[in-house]
Structure 1
Amino acid sequence: MIPNRMGTEIGSTAEHALYAMLDGVETRWACPENRTGAKGSAAIAGGGRKGSPFLPIASGETVVLAEEQGISGIVRRIWITLNDRSPRMLRSLRIDMYWDGSEQAAVSAPLGDFFGTGLGLVTPFQAALFSSPEGRSFNCAVPMPFRTGMKITVTNEGDEALRMFFYDVDYTIGDRHAADALYFHAHFRREYPTTQRRDYEILPKLQGRGRFLGTNIGVNPDTSRYGLSWWGEGECKIYLDGDDEYPSLCSTGTEDYIGTGWEQGTFSNLYQGCHVADKTSMSFCFYRYHVPDPVYFQRDIKVTMQQIGYWDPQTRDKFMESGVRVMEAREERIIDFAADAPESIPDYGVFEREDDWSSCAYFYLDSPASNLPELADVKLRVAGLDVR
């Protein structure tokens, strides 16, 4: 066996050679021109002349994008584009994925956030697992093995109908999996706002054995309270296999976690990037994929990020002008920039914040179901998105 690029053994050695045939493995594409992906059933509508290139999805409607029963396989690529790519629509569309007949979805997330488009802000980027060429479409290249079947659905939980939904789900059937092949999962969260000194949970405590694959994160800071000050001094903390008060893994700052430093601008690399860095609103969307640096867990895992901001002399002066009152992060003392004596306030400091954070975490697990809570109601997912 040779590990695939996720480090998980999925099939035989031959699978990883471009020139090799895999015995008993067949290719399927499910799309509006062939909803079932069945052999000899594509491009039939309209006399075979582009008769069904997209689907409409009414408000409240669920559509099945791809489904197989009684056979093994691997979902290898998903591509989607749609005519309404507004933040509200991307948060209202819900994508769910089920493996091996499980009634609980392994993937349950807003469409945009699942494909790495944080805050519903579509922008061009390219990474190893997700991409959006020209900011017009959504691509996923994460391998998703199944043993006895799979189902992928999209539900429109918004108030507006979607007129045009284009998609491809590209997969193979008949793949033979190693005994320790894991199931792909994704989990979306949002806190609006976060709570001071309570770390934001990218991945709540998860039971089982598997691999944390990474996350994308969107931050809408409270500029009415903190102005345009830097919000990203918080550290990423990963609790592994019984860790209690303190984690086993920790970054040195939010931007440090995604591989840059001294705040962050826009960039997109294979395994880390920041594809939205709006300095006029301080809204940011960024990602980190643990592909070359695997994060394994044997019993349980929890992944969090601190909400800590920073002031320097320039920010200190602005805080004094606006009368900001904050909690200092290390000593927990309250600093009132309007009332405290100026000489008692240092030129540099870190403080606790309350902002709007959202994320989609990706992981592999040894079960097609998890102990994580269900996806939040659409009203919570879209609240405040139009106020920027």
Structure 2
Amino acid sequence: MFPLLIAWLLTSAAMLGAEEIRDVSWFLQRMRSVEHLAELENSHTALASTWDRTGANGDGGDFKDLRPPTATEPGRNILLDVDGPGCIHRIFLGVLGPQQQGTRIQIFLDGLSAPTIDLPITEFFDYQNGPLPYPLVFFKSYPGTLFPIPFAQHCLVQLVNADYGKPDWNDARWSNYWQITYTRYSESVKVKSLTWPLSEAEKREALATREAWLLAESSAPLPPAQWDAEHSTALAPHETLSFDLPGTGVIRQLRVQLEPATPQVLEAVRLQLTWDGAAEPSVDVPVGYFFGHVHGGLGQVLQSPAAVNGPSGPLHPDNWDLVPYSTTFHSLLLGTTDREAYACFPMPFAHGARVKLVNTGDVAVSLARVRLQLERREKLPPDWGRFHATWTHSLADTADTPRVGPKQVPVKTVLQRSGAGKYVGVMLSIDWPSYAWWGEGDWLIWSDEAGWPPSYHGTGSEEYFNSGWCRFDRKAVSGFVTLRPGHPTVYSFHLNDAFQFRKSIRVVEEQMGHKLIGEGHPRWINTAFWYGREPQPAGSD
């Protein structure tokens, strides 16, 4: 009832000409809804992290702004110092234990002399007894929080420790692998800074988001009482299932069922979506790589040393016992059931849409079914883009592989486009027969920028997927389908922290950390999910 009341009040205020104010409740509501995902705006998402500025792999402790103690202040470790208006979406760190007990996190907003938040990091990131509700704060494979911290004018995040600067000091007491993801908005955007403690209304919003996330990571969305469009057929080799959607509307839920759900079928049958009478599809991806279940199928039980189940991870990062897991997965945007896969990206169209399943292979498909939940509209908001999915694959670290940074590290290009749009996530798969770790490479994102370094420079592959220590867990916005050995397939989505771009976007992942990458040249495969101002060709392989 409360979210519905808030939505009604916001709508009424907008009708009366009131300015939209982005406060913590606004951000929390958008963490449990994908309604806004197609919106394009002028903002910039970036990352402050401990990435190794030499270009090597020492990403744990390259702190950028250490300040020794003075007569009046303790030693400080400045993690973020940025002007507003903006919002922090994510704070991550690598280790949280007795060694870090003397370290506090302080968050100063809008130049105030007193911090809005001032807590021991062991308390701030405590998912059981700390100030924030699980799973918005967590300690699965890594400790961290995805709780929004909006700021109107300025934000300073620092660590303090009274022992910093003493002869026996060890930088490990700061913890390591820090990452802070944040977005800055245009000056015209009205942001209300976080106040602490939360009001009762804000606490209710946080709990509503908690419940929505727990539901999204554990179950598929409810189907409608009746699907607005449903088409099924058998597909002989090189046959196509195709149908049109007239008028204006939004695909709210897409489900695809293929039988048999083998890797051969899931890679051979391509999902193609075309918007507004465009000549080429904006989505053109093998079904199994769009939804991620190409090698996991539906409901297999596998084992991996990289799987983390439940709210907490292994007691020690060197514990490499095999952990059983199901390939059935759920999230706010993609997942699988016992017979089909689903997607909840909003997919708007103004002048009709065309949906196709194309069997490009030589294997017969006994059943190909598409079911859609549609919202019919008279017109679309002018700031809504069109949904795109771009699928590419290549062999790792070859003579033709692009390279970046001071050490010219090979990278896999996930997405590179010109124009205006919004990058909202990825499904990544790697052909990896080994039990060894494949993901020491960092994720790098240039949005409306060029040169080195990009404003988003990560500290390792698994951190981009909200995980750590060579392992993966499942959340409402990130997780895994299958894990090493075999075909590790992982996903990460961006809601409030999506990467808007007005001129260009480039997203790459470094390929480094194990000799098999350079000697075996495994295939790196990704599906990038994004919105463009206008329908564009997907540009898939």
**Distance (Å, rounded) in 2 between the aligned partners of 1:212 and 1:297:** 8
Q: How does 1:222-237 map to 2 (within 5 A)?
A: 223=433, 228-237=435-444
2:410 to 193, 198, 208: 198
Within a 5 Å distance, the mapping from 1:16-55 to structure 2 comes to 29-32=228-231, 54-55=232-233
Tell me: higher relative CO, structure 1 or 2? Use CA pairs within 8 A at least 6 residues apart. Answer: 1
The reply on whether 1:285 has 2:489 as its aligned counterpart is yes
Mapped to 1, the partners of 2:512 and 2:489 lie a distance apart of: 17
SS in 2 for 1:256: helix
Which runs of no fewer than 5 residues in structure 1 stay unpaired?
11-26, 33-53, 311-323, 328-351, 377-388
1:61 is the counterpart of 2:219: no
Conservation of the 8 A alpha-carbon contact between 2:291 and 2:334: yes
Q: Deviations over 1:203-235 (max 9, x none)?
A: 1x20111110100101112x5xxx543111000
- Counterparts of 2:516 and 2:233 in 1: how far apart (Å)? 51
Q: Which residue of 1 aligns with 2:360?
A: 157
- Per the TM alignment, residue 356 of structure 1 is displaced from its structure 2 partner at its CA by 1.6
Residue 83 (structure 1) shift: 1.8
Asked if residue 263 in structure 1 is aligned to residue 470 in structure 2, the reply is: yes
Of 361, 365, 369, which aligns to 2:532? 365
Aligned-residue CA RMSD (Å) = 2.5
Aligned partner of 2:344: which letter? A
Instruction: Give SS of 1:199's match.
Output: strand
Cα deviation 1:117-148 (Å, max 9, x = unaligned): 254654200011011024x3110111111111
Counterpart of 1:87 (choices 247, 255, 263) is 263
2:274–2:282 CA contact under 8 A, matched in 1? yes
Give the 3-state SS of the residue equivalent to 1:78 in structure 2. Answer: strand
Letter of the 2:34 counterpart:
R
- Residues 63, 153 of structure 1: 8 Å contact kept: yes
CA distance in 2, matches of 1:55, 1:297: 40
Q: d(CA) in 1 for partners of 2:35 and 2:474? A: 19
Q: Does the C-alpha gap of structure 1 residues 190 and 81 become closer, same or farther in structure 2, counting only changes over 3 Å?
A: same
SS across alignment from 2:270: strand
Partner of 1:125: 329
Residues 220 and 8 of structure 1, relative CA distance in 2, 3 Å threshold = closer
Count of aligned pairs between the two proteins:
289
What is the CA-CA distance between 1:275 and the residue it aligns to? 2.2
Moved more, 185-194 or 352-361: 352-361
User: CA deviation digits over 1:139-173, x for unaligned, max 9?
Assistant: 01111111111111010001011111222122122
User: When the two structures are superposed, what TM-score results if normalisation uses the length of structure 1?
Assistant: 0.69
Would you say the 8 A contact 2:410–2:512 is kept in 1?
Answer: no
Range that drifts further, 144-153 or 246-255: 246-255
Query: C-alpha separation between the residues in 2 aligned to 1:56 and 1:259?
Result: 39
Determine helix, strand or coil for the equivalent of 2:527: strand
CA distance in structure 2 between the partners assigned to 1:285 and 1:175 by the alignment: 39
1:309–1:353 CA contact under 8 A, matched in 2? no
Q: Which residue of 2 aligns with 1:103?
A: 279
After the TM superposition, which residues 323-334 of structure 1 pair with which residues of structure 2 at under 5 Å, given as runs? none
Alignment of 1:283-322 (within 5 A): 283-310=487-514
CA distance in 2 between counterparts of 1:300 and 1:277 reads 32
**How far apart are residue 236 of structure 1 and its match?**
0.6
Q: Structure 2 regions of 5+ residues with no counterpart?
A: 1-9, 12-29, 40-225, 299-326, 402-408
- Displacement after TM superposition at 1:89 (Å): 0.8
Counterpart of 1:210 in structure 2 is 421
Q: Which amino acid aligns with 2:410?
A: R
Report the counterpart of residue 22 of structure 1 in structure 2.
none
* Partners of 1:113 and 1:119 within 8 A in 2: no
Cα separation, 2, equivalents of 1:228 and 1:309? 14
Q: In 2, distance between residues paired with 1:118 and 1:308?
A: 25
Indicate the SS of the match to 1:184. strand
**Does the 8 Å CA contact 2:34/2:346 hold for their aligned counterparts?**
no
